[in-house]
A and B are shown apart, each in its own frame.
Chain A
Amino acid sequence: MAWLLIALPLFAAAIAFATPSPTVRARILAVTGLLHLGALVGALRGWGTLPPDAWLGLDALGGWVLLVVSVLFLVCALYAPAYLELRPDRDHRIFTGSLLTFLAMASLLAQARHPGLAWVAMETTTLATAPLVYFNRNRRSLEATWKYLLIGSVGIALALLGTLFIAYAAQTGGLSEPLQYSRLMRESALLSKPWLRAGFVLSLVGYGTKMGIAPLHAWKPDAYGESPGIVGALLAGGVTSCAFLALLRIYAVVAAAGEAAFAQELLIGFGLLSMAWALVFMVRQADFKRLLAYSSVEHMGILVLGIGIGGNATRFALFHLAANALVKSVLFLSAGNIHRSYASKTLPFVTGAIRRTPVSGWLFLLGFLAITGTPPFAPFISEFNIAAAALNGGHVWIGAAFLLLLSAIFLGMSDTVLQVVFGTPSHERVRTPYKDTIATTAPLVGALVLALVMGLWLPRPLQEMLDGATRFLGGLP
């Protein structure tokens, strides 16, 4: 089953690459998305029965992240045929192939039980997604692609050094390869502490660059701003979640070795800094796709902050991973629709979307309300519980700063969003053929409904999986 999840999208990528017909190719995406999710749900039943020395396999944490990525991919894949039809001038052979390769690499990463293998998978997701950023084939997207590729590669190289440091920490303690995560965690008492700490710092910087936490996010606004909404959604909810998973695995080893306090201080620092940095750039942001990119910086900050606070917040940081991915897909895809309709993505050209593209306008507005923590959507649950965990756990100042930043970001973001959605439509507007259709809005509605349901009710097997993942992050293999 482990291999199927990786081989299926790779095989589909090869077929899509070889298919001459654009319509068939776009449908391959949707079919693969469905099959992958189906296979994953089947494979998830066995997450508790993973042999400790396996190289590949789903555990609770990997299963949870891959489930999020797979659902997100399905939303994007169902949206893709209609979107690609809107861009008949673009050849999407490489685009489709890259999307599917990304899914395969995410499956490899989620199942990798060895830090080296996880690193290889993470680096490959960078390479697979770089051509996606260049979809528009103009100077701006080229600049964005170059930054994405170079900054991402350098960041991920540092993560490799961090991984080697951890292997060295094990070697110094007398452990020999193969060093699966479970083995590192079980024998964590033997690890050399200075090397382990240094390894964690480098992994945080490296995988943090891929997540786009401040101040390592330089590529993010450009890549999200210049690529199609569908790519923005996959980067903001998929690639970043994968990088977060790679970081969490290292964190679990550090926690098992009794060094969690050291790591948590760093995570809290990066988390609050990301939120503050994002806030500064969200205020008066005229480009609504860049606005979403800074919102992604903010939410990556919330994820690491949740882990940094620890306790109950760990569980809700993992919950937030799913909430963020779902709502971000709604936001990026509806932003993409509005962009198509106005042929622009900046104020003051884009105003009054609710009249011109009513469904996308509403979805964009609701997505904004959901991501900023309006009940009863899922992000509210996680943000509320992270704040509560901080306040109850003795981190009063951190909890207060968190709440203050959340409300400031709500205000900062609302300014641009409300103008885009409700402003008076500009007279000198460009005529475009785009109209909201079922195909370009139904997948978004589905994702939003899922985010709503998640905020109210989570099925028991998923809750158990979250519990398992939280235990893993407490340092229990």
Chain B
Amino acid sequence: MLHDLLIALTMLTNFTLVATHRVQKSIQVAAFQGVLLGFLPLSMGLWRHTHVLLLAAATILVKGWLIPFLLRRAMRQVQIHREVNPYISYTLSLMLCALGTGISLVLAHNLPLKPGDAHGLFVPAALSTLFTGFLLLVSRRKALTQVVGYLVLENGIYLFGMLLVEQMPLLVETGILLDLFVGIFVMGIVINHIRAAFDSTDTLRMAELKD
């Protein structure tokens, strides 16, 4: 039952993420979510599989420490502390997140899942986390918070991957984590350039290119 607790916590962190104003806090919460996800395969009693252990360790390392480190470094470099005036207000985001979670629960109930998976929280949690990631991506103006949104989106996909964790080849898992890490690394560099060029990391300013 430990894993249900971890998943429930993950779903709660989604609400914190959409409601938080401070960039530092949203990075912290995203890191916390990453650590929760890292412990998830261990809580499912999969200790015997070496590759699951490796995956858990790598996830905690990358999502809980390396990526937050990169994001925090980017935050210090660009001197951004608050997300001001998001496109969708915090109250509305919270309500949308709640709605999304509700819809995910209903939707997951109606999916043709394997008998063993039908009662778990994995699928609703995956869908609601995906939704939260999208919400952050479209509603936030700062480049850095958009990257947090992308990270949360990936967390949602990772949650769905938990249904397949016993079988997934290690090569593929490693590749996915590595790509996520490098992706956020590159985004961090670009954010730094954005600030140097635009004197702001507000993506609203980047509107020169259009037809």
Residues of A within 8 A of B (CB): 55, 114, 116-117, 119-120, 123-124, 126-127, 130-131, 134, 138-140, 142-147, 149-150, 153-154, 157, 160-161, 164, 167-168, 171-172, 176-178, 192, 194-195, 221-222, 225-226, 281, 285, 290
Q: Does any Cβ of A come within 8 Å of B187's Cβ?
A: yes
**Chain A contacts of B157 at CB under 8 A?**
157, 160-161, 164
Rounded to whole Å, the gap between the CB of A212 and the closest CB of chain B is: 15
**Chain A contacts of B113 at CB under 8 A?**
172
A116 & B137 in contact (Cβ 8 Å cutoff)? no
**Provided the pairs A140-B208, A140-B209 are in contact, do residues A127 and B183 lie with their beta carbons within 8 angstroms?**
yes
**Chain B contacts of A142 at CB under 8 A?**
190, 193-194, 197-198, 206
A177 to B172, CA, bound (A): 11
**Chain A contacts of B112 at CB under 8 A?**
172, 192, 194-195
B interface residue count range (under 10 / 10 to 19 / 20 to 34 / 35 or more): 35 or more
Q: Mark B171-182, 1 if CB is under 8 A from A, else 0.
A: 110011011001
**Chain A contacts of B208 at CB under 8 A?**
139-140, 143
Q: Mark B139-156, 1 if CB is under 8 A from A, else 0.
A: 000010010001001100
B198 & A139 in contact (Cβ 8 Å cutoff)? yes
Q: Does any Cβ of A come within 8 Å of B1's Cβ?
A: no
| B175 partner, pick from A120, A134, A177, A222, beta carbons under 8 A | A120
B163 & A116 in contact (Cβ 8 Å cutoff)? no
A154 to B134, CA, bound (A): 9
Q: Does any Cβ of A come within 8 Å of B8's Cβ?
A: no
Q: Does any Cβ of A come within 8 Å of B168's Cβ?
A: yes
A393 to B153, CA, bound (A): 42
Q: Which positions 116-152 of chain B face chain A at CB distance < 8 Å?
A: 130, 137, 143, 146, 150
B186 & A130 in contact (Cβ 8 Å cutoff)? yes
| B211 partner, pick from A55, A114, A285, beta carbons under 8 A | A285
Residues of B within 8 A of A (CB): 111-114, 130, 137, 143, 146, 150, 153-154, 157, 160-161, 163-164, 167-169, 171-172, 175-176, 178-179, 182-183, 186-187, 190, 193-194, 197-198, 203, 206-209, 211
Q: Which residue from chain A places its CB closest to the CB of B209 in the assembled complex?
A: A222
**Chain A contacts of B207 at CB under 8 A?**
143
A476 to B175, CA, bound (A): 28
A172 to B194, CA, bound (A): 46
| B190 partner, pick from A117, A123, A138, A149, beta carbons under 8 A | A149
Q: Which residue from chain B places its CB closest to the CB of A124 in the assembled complex?
A: B179
Q: Which residue from chain A places its CB closest to the CB of B143 in the assembled complex?
A: A146
Q: Which residue from chain B places its CB closest to the CB of A117 in the assembled complex?
A: B172
Give 10 nearest A-B pairs by CB, closest first: A116-B172, A120-B175, A143-B206, A177-B167, A123-B179, A222-B209, A139-B197, A161-B157, A172-B114, A194-B112
**Chain A contacts of B203 at CB under 8 A?**
146
A385 to B163, CA, bound (A): 44
A-B contact pairs, 11 of them (CB 8 A): A120-B172, A120-B178, A123-B183, A127-B179, A134-B193, A147-B209, A149-B190, A150-B150, A153-B183, A164-B161, A195-B112
B150 & A167 in contact (Cβ 8 Å cutoff)? no
A168 to B162, CA, bound (A): 11
A285 to B211, CA, bound (A): 8
Rounded to whole Å, the gap between the CB of A249 and the closest CB of chain B is: 15
B168 & A167 in contact (Cβ 8 Å cutoff)? yes
A165 to B205, CA, bound (A): 38
B194 & A149 in contact (Cβ 8 Å cutoff)? no
| A167 partner, pick from B164, B187, B198, beta carbons under 8 A | B164
Rounded to whole Å, the gap between the CB of B67 and the closest CB of chain A is: 13
Q: Which residue from chain A places its CB closest to the CB of B156 in the assembled complex?
A: A161
List 11 extra interface pairs beyond A146-B206, A157-B154, A176-B167, CB under 8 A: A114-B169, A119-B172, A123-B183, A153-B150, A154-B150, A164-B160, A164-B164, A167-B164, A168-B160, A168-B164, A171-B164
A131 to B114, CA, bound (A): 43
Q: Which residue from chain A places its CB closest to the CB of B191 in the assembled complex?
A: A146
Rounded to whole Å, the gap between the CB of A175 and the closest CB of chain B is: 9
